Amino acid sequence: MKYIDEYRNKELIRIISDKIRSVLTKQISIMEICGGQTHTILKYNLEEFLPAKINLIHGPGCPVCVTPIDYIDKAIELSMKDDVILVSFGDMLRVPGSEKDLLSARANGGNVRMVYSPLDSVKIASENPDTKVVFFAVGFETTAPANARAVIEADRLGLINYYMLCSHMLVPPAIEALMSNNKVKLDGLLAAGHVCTVMGLREYELLSEKFKMPVVAMGFEPLDIMNAIYMVVNQIEENRFDVENQYSRTVTREGNAHAIEIINKVFTKEDREWRGIGVIKNSGLKLRNEYSKYDALLNFDFEKKETMVIGNCIAGEILQGLNKPAQCSSFGKECKPEHPLGAPMVSSEGACAAYFRYKRSKN
């Protein structure tokens, strides 16, 4: 398939592999942020093409995985109200809360609907004027423009029954928090191409300068990833710490100006808890005051409950790159995709799900 097969050419990957081996002289650790890129690495067994001196660390780049348990509990609580339709993307339905997930809530009578677009939630609200419709908005900067557009559309239509439970996360503050953690040892960073497509590279320039670390924005195909690793290795060997753009066919330094404008129009930054990591300053988005009438957190009363740690799950350590899934005592035993203990086993972008699907037999 043109424009896809070219990026999965095994011979080209071997050529890049040889180039990496020819310049690498030291043991290094590189983190890829995006869960989708983690899946590509494991699906195509790219570690086989890399020298043993390179340790790939999987970062917290899965928005479903880092959604706080408290938000999932609130979504479940809303779904059980008689006058509420809770709307969500499909990958959120099986993420465990403190006691159950949204799929279980639906089985017990909760009104939970799955959508493929944020605008679908607006349509549901317009078609059900006597029912409150709450859209569970989850994601990084990539999905923020579409979710912001849904709020603007609801406002344009004058809907008074539309709300958003907003759990948007911002990637650069999380990277800064990880790099400030003495337990996390990194030599280079592979930035998520889709986030950089929206937001550009300026924030990563600040991070690269602050931590004296090479950063490369990369795409999602095997050749993209191998090229990006080669670029990081070159920087390390040359004692450079620049921000480079491997994914130039999509990413620009400035990003998508219109997308950034609509994000800033609807949302503002706030401190946000990341599941398994903790509260990270200015790492979340909430609705601005002028759109507060759509904020579910401000317009519904919620029960107070303590969140619980589920089983022997070490999802927090996995999300921070401190451990890999196979090092968890529950991996492939109590914790499987059909019965996940933690979000990284649920999500299609979760590291645990990737290891279970592609690497379990080798472990």
- Helices (DSSP H) in the chain: which residue ranges? 10-23, 35-43, 63-66, 69-79, 102-107, 118-127, 144-157, 171-179, 193-199, 202-211, 222-237, 257-266, 296-299, 315-319, 343-346, 351-358
Q: Where in the chain is the domain with CATH 3.40.50.11740?
A: 65-170+256-299
Residue 60 CA: distances (Å) to CA of 69, 116, 178, 316: 16, 23, 9, 9
Half-sphere exposure (CA, 13 Å, Cβ side) for 176? Answer: 16
Q: Where in the chain is the domain with CATH 3.40.50.11750?
A: 5-62+179-245
CB 164 within 8 A of CB 296: yes
Average pLDDT per block of 10 residues along the chain, 363 residues long: 79 96 97 92 94 94 89 97 96 89 95 96 98 97 97 98 97 94 92 96 97 97 97 97 97 97 98 92 97 98 69 82 89 86 82 85 48
Class of domain 65-170+256-299: alpha beta
Return the DSSP state at 339: B
Radius of gyration for the chain, computed over Cα atoms and rounded to the nearest angstrom: 21
The pLDDT score that the predictor gives to residue 357 is 87
- Helices (DSSP H) in 250-295: which residue ranges? 257-266
pLDDT in tens, 58-92: 988 888 889 999 999 999 999 999 999 999 999 89
The pLDDT score that the predictor gives to residue 192 is 94
* Fold of the CATH domain 5-62+179-245: Rossmann fold (3.40.50)
The pLDDT score that the predictor gives to residue 222 is 96
